[in-house]
Amino acid sequence: MAVSLSLTIAQGSQSVANNQTYVTVSVYAHSTNGSYNNNSKPGSVVIDGTSYSFSSSFAKNTTTCVATASKWVSHAANGTKTVSASASYVTGVSSGTVYASGSKVLSTIPRVSDLSVSKSSVPADGQATVTAMAAKKSSSFTDTITVKLGSYSKTVASGAAFVIPAEWMNAISGTSAVATVTVVTKSGSATIGSKSVNLTVTVPADVVPSISGITATEAVAAVTSKFGSRFVRTLSRINVKVSAGGAYGSTVKSCSVVIDGVTYQQAEFQSNVLNTAGNVEIKATVTDSRGRTATYAKAIAVADYSPPVITSLVQYPCNADGTRNASGTHTKVTIKGKVSPVEEQNIKSLVLKYKALNADSYTVRTLTAEGWDFETSVVVSGTDPTSTWEFIAEITDKVSMASLSVVTGVPVISRLAGGRGVRLFGEAENEGFWVGNVDYTITDAEFDELVNLLGGEKNSI
């Protein structure tokens, strides 16, 4: 009769976090030649140094599992483990106490280093620092830490501060993006595994689109030809172009320009006519694909201009020397007006046109107007005061012309100061009763005769 003992070691689940494997050991009693034991004899199983007791019986000519024991077995720091087990069993028959032992190489548990970063976010400014720390599971392991964002990547050392270069913003379409920090752990040349954590990379607030300049040129060729290289109020329109670009991968999405109180929503356009003189600001605001804005202002000088104007045209009959005379055969004409100098680039031309109202054509005289705000007088000869005359003053500059006209009239009735003279169809200048230039004044005797003819008394008239 004979009894022998054997055991098997089975690998169960593994805990990567705890670096352990669940191991089960089964012990078998093998009986031959009719040996058996029904008295439940004692035994023990030792797994990786831990002993478990059991008691069991076995039947003859059989293989009986007399014990099963399990244990979480800890691996070495590098994740490897060879587990050993042994068993002893008191048979209660002639075989006495039997023994068995064995070992098994367990699957290596990946022991990737733990990874952490010192900050959750960092600006891509090349200055702010952040640290990645890899905690090794075994001193024999090697770690490689990389930081990656889009097409950009860099290798950093565990525990050493690093920065995110400014050019990495080219990979950020908005104002932030998530970079991946990864540690790869190796044992020799064999890769054990990797771990990753996220790091938010932000675009600094001062990274905005750029405006390199604003060009402003005259859009009205006639303004330049008449007044040179200058803008002129009420005449000029401006061709405007804003030169702008994104920053570190952003693109320009919109451009708004304010000129002379008017807003234009383009980067290149032609403005309305300028209505303000002096220093006129052109202010551009650019918005990029990140929603960031930038502004740029440029001042242009705008020369003042208003169309010429005749403010006053006064005439009266006079003598040849200009002395006022209601019966004079001359007319003194005084003209007042204004012309914009446009920085002394303008010109002016003043003419006086006149004719009797029933004449077919005008007599034209060119007059000298001193200064841009002028007053000038001229004596026109040969103007019969008993006729109606038309006088027209015209002032012309480089751009436009203005005119003002007056028409003389003959008074229907005029009284001499003091009341001793009346003139019909003319100015009263003498005592008596005048019709035009004929004196119809009657003497006292003529008056008495007229009264008598009427059959009345003198005092009744």
**Assigned token pair, 231:** 């803008």
Q: With 50 as the cut, is the pLDDT of residue 227 above it?
A: yes
d(CA 431, CA 23): 151
Residue 458 has pLDDT above 60, yes or no: no
- Provide, rounded to the nearest whole percent, the portion of the chain with pLDDT above 90: 78
Q: What is the dihedral of CA 192, 198, 203, 204, to 10 degrees?
A: -100
Nearest to 47 by CA among 65, 29, 25, 28: 25
Per-residue pLDDT tens digits for 425-441:
666 778 888 876 787 78
Q: Name beta bridge partners: 392.
A: 353, 405
The model's confidence at residue 282, banded by pLDDT at 50, 70 and 90, is: very high
SS3 276: coil
What are the boundaries of each domain within the chain?
Answer: 2-106, 114-202, 210-303, 309-407, 413-458
Mean pLDDT taken over the chain: 92
pLDDT tens-digit series, residues 361-402: 999 999 999 999 999 999 999 998 888 999 999 999 999 999
Q: What is the CB neighbour count within 10 angstroms for residue 387?
A: 12
Q: What is the pLDDT of residue 420?
A: 76
Q: How many angstroms separate the Cα of 173 from the Cα of each of 229, 288, 324?
A: 43, 10, 86
pLDDT score at 457: 59
Query: Topology of 210-303 in CATH?
Result: Immunoglobulin-like (2.60.40)
Region of residue 267 (left: phi > 0; alpha: psi -120 to 50; beta: else): alpha
* pLDDT score of 460 more than 50: no
The highest-level CATH class for domain 309-407 is: mainly beta
Q: What pTM value is reported for the model?
A: 0.67
pLDDT of residue 83: 98
- Report the CATH fold assignment for 114-202: Immunoglobulin-like (2.60.40)
Q: How far apart are CA 290 and CA 4, in angstroms?
A: 80
More confident residue, 148 or 35: 148
- Give tens-digit pLDDT for 11-54: 999 998 899 999 999 999 999 877 788 889 999 999 999 999 99
Euclidean distance between CA atoms 392 and 310, whole angstroms: 10
pLDDT at 16: 85
| Residue 319 near residue 327 (C-beta atoms within 8 A) | no
3-state SS track over 400-437:
CEEEEEEECCCCCEEECCCCCEEEECCCCCCCEEEECC
The pLDDT score that the predictor gives to residue 436 is 67
Task: Mark 258-292 as b/e (b = at least 16 C-beta within 10 Å).
Answer: ebbeeebeebebebeebeebeebebebbbbbebeb
The third-level CATH classification (topology) of the domain covering 2-106 is Immunoglobulin-like (2.60.40)
Mean pLDDT of all residues in 347-373: 95
CA distance linking residue 114 with residue 328, whole number of Å: 118
Q: Quick check: 225 pLDDT over 90?
A: yes
pLDDT of residue 440: 77
Residue with tokens 């001229």: 378
Q: Do domains 114-202 and 309-407 have the same CATH topology?
A: yes
